[in-house]
């Protein structure tokens, strides 16, 4: 008898938990299960020309628009949006299918994370996708526990839904910009030179890519380098260099800039100017290929064999494409970088040398 009473108590407790914790909903007309989330846009996803991310308080976080120059981010003066991330999101939206219809009662929205975006406390993110005048607004909610799905709700509808995949929507502005400035592996670097406006200068170099360590040019006879790492680190300053923000190069004064010149074994030369302004560490870049003029001179062409000339032309084409790619991305822009990266690029000779011994 006691055992039966215990079972009954457990069953009653479970029933009460279901009533309390499972949102009620009224199924709208028609069965939406196993249908595309956005059927009107899914077949035209390549025509999408604007994407907007809105967070709590109806705050527009990021507005991205498609132009002849590609996808641009309005909040960063029209700089390049992160196309890979945006492309992945649009593909997921186009393929997303409704698994189940959920609550249409506002008092339960917070449990799914699909509250009205106008609320200052909303945990939802509003994703607006536009094709011309057609805009679909989807409130992105919480992940569904134990599945790959996610809760969503159309902004203009009461019913929420569970879809069969996650929609990766960043809540940070930097998450929507192409934050990678440049990426040059140290193995590609032949020379690095740093020139300060007051005349201090550093140059490190390698004769070939097989040489492991860079040599510090002009090392004083009575001084020693701090470490090989300190010298070699200059060769990797452009490796996976990311920005913290970006703005147009309009009103900055570069007269007192520190200049850094990096020469690659391929002949590509990168010039970087560095300044501090308003507690920001700023950088602008330009790429060139000085050796191209030498290769194109008639005297050089006459000496080289036809096979060598063909090799030179193909190499020059590849190098020109890399130079153009860097300049197309960086021309006219100023990047804010971390203080750590700035200090490495603006190093002075004493930063590479052991301290003088005091008598």
pLDDT at residue 11 greater than cutoff 50? no
Q: What is the pLDDT of residue 316?
A: 83
Q: Same domain, yes or no, for 326 and 187?
A: yes
Q: Same domain, yes or no, for 156 and 276?
A: no
pLDDT tens per residue, range 267-279: 999 999 999 998 9
Q: Same domain, yes or no, for 206 and 341?
A: yes
Lowest-confidence pick of 65-74, 242-251, 309-318: 309-318
Mean pLDDT of 141-148: 94
Q: Same domain, yes or no, for 246 and 114?
A: no
Residue 280 lies in a domain: yes
Residue 119 lies in a domain: yes
pLDDT tens per residue, range 36-89: 999 988 889 999 999 999 999 999 999 999 999 899 999 999 999 999 999 999
d(CA 88, CA 90): 6
Q: Same domain, yes or no, for 166 and 85?
A: yes
Mean pLDDT of 327-349: 96
d(CA 343, CA 19): 60
pLDDT at residue 13 greater than cutoff 50? no
Domain that holds residue 110: 22-176
At 316, list the tokens.
Answer: 């020059």
Q: Same domain, yes or no, for 160 and 184?
A: no
How would you list the strands of the sheet with 59-67, edge to edge?
Answer: 79-80, 70-73, 59-67, 50-55, 125-131, 134-143, 150-154, 160-163, 98-101
Q: Same domain, yes or no, for 304 and 217?
A: yes
Residue 186 lies in a domain: yes
Residue 7 lies in a domain: no
Residue 4 lies in a domain: no
Percentage of residues in the chain with pLDDT exceeding 90?
77
pLDDT tens per residue, range 96-118: 999 999 999 999 999 999 999 99
End of a domain among 127, 156, 176? Answer: 176
pLDDT at residue 16 greater than cutoff 70? no
Residue 251 lies in a domain: yes
More confident of the two residues 296 and 71: 71
For the purposes of burial, counting CB atoms within 10 Å of the CB of 211, is it exposed (0-12), middle (13-18) or buried (19 or more)?
Answer: exposed
Q: What is the pLDDT of residue 302?
A: 56
Q: Same domain, yes or no, for 111 and 171?
A: yes
pLDDT tens per residue, range 162-201: 999 999 999 999 999 999 999 999 999 999 999 999 999 9
Q: Same domain, yes or no, for 152 and 245?
A: no
Could you tell me the pLDDT band of residue 236, with boundaries at 50, 70 and 90?
very high
How would you list the strands of the sheet with 201-205, edge to edge?
Answer: 215-216, 201-205, 189-195, 258-264, 269-277, 280-288, 333-337, 245-248
End of a domain among 176, 202, 234? Answer: 176
Q: Same domain, yes or no, for 39 and 172?
A: yes
Rg over alpha carbons for the chain, rounded to the nearest Å, is 29
Residue 12 lies in a domain: no
Residues 169/64, Cβ–Cβ less than 8 Å: no
Q: Same domain, yes or no, for 194 and 122?
A: no
Residue 91 lies in a domain: yes
Q: Same domain, yes or no, for 83 and 141?
A: yes
Q: What is the pLDDT of residue 251?
A: 85
More confident of the two residues 13 and 218: 218
Lowest-confidence pick of 4-8, 153-157, 194-198, 284-288: 4-8
d(CA 354, CA 309): 47
pTM confidence score: 0.81
pLDDT at residue 12 greater than cutoff 80? no
Q: What is the pLDDT of residue 318?
A: 87
Q: What is the pLDDT of residue 304?
A: 63
**Residue 165, CA distances (Å) to 7, 17, 42, 153, 172 in order:** 38, 27, 15, 14, 21
Lowest-confidence pick of 131-135, 255-259, 299-303: 299-303
**Average pLDDT of the residues of the chain:** 88
Domain tally, the chain:
2
Could you tell me the pLDDT band of residue 10, with boundaries at 50, 70 and 90?
very low
End of a domain among 176, 207, 234? Answer: 176
């Amino acid at each position: 008898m006691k055992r039966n009473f215990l079972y009954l108590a457990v069953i009653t407790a479970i029933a009460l938990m279901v009533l309390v914790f499972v949102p009620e909903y009224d199924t709208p007309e028609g069965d939406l299960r196993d249908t595309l989330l956005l059927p009107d846009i899914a077949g035209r996803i390549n025509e999408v020309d604007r994407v907007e991310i809105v967070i709590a308080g109806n705050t527009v976080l990021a507005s991205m628009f498609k132009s002849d120059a590609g996808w641009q981010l309005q909040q960063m003066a029209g700089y390049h949006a992160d196309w890979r991330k945006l492309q992945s999101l649009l593909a997921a939206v186009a393929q997303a299918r409704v698994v189940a219809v959920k609550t249409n009662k506002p008092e339960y929205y917070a449990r799914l994370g699909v509250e009205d975006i106008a609320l200052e406390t909303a945990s939802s993110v509003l994703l607006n996708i536009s094709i011309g005048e057609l805009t679909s607004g989807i409130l992105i909610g919480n992940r569904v526990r134990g599945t790959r799905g996610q809760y969503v709700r159309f902004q203009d509808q009461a019913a929420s839904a569970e879809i069969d995949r996650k929609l990766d929507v960043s809540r940070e502005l930097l998450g929507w910009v192409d934050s990678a400035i440049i990426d040059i592996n140290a193995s590609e670097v032949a020379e690095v030179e740093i020139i300060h406006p007051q005349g201090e200068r550093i140059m490190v170099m390698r004769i070939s890519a097989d040489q492991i360590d860079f040599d510090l040019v002009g090392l004083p006879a009575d001084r020693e380098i701090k470490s090989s790492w300190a010298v070699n680190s200059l060769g990797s300053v452009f490796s996976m260099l990311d920005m913290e923000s970006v703005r147009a190069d309009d009103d900055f004064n570069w007269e007192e800039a520190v200049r850094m010149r990096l020469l690659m074994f391929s002949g590509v030369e990168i010039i970087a100017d560095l300044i501090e302004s308003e507690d920001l560490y700023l950088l602008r870049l330009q790429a060139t290929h000085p050796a191209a003029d030498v290769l194109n001179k008639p005297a050089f062409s006459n000496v080289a064999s036809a096979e060598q000339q063909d090799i030179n032309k193909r190499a020059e084409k590849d190098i020109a494409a890399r130079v153009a790619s860097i300049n197309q991305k960086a021309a006219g822009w100023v990047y804010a970088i971390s203080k750590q990266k700035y200090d490495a690029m603006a190093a002075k000779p004493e930063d590479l040398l052991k301290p003088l011994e005091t008598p």
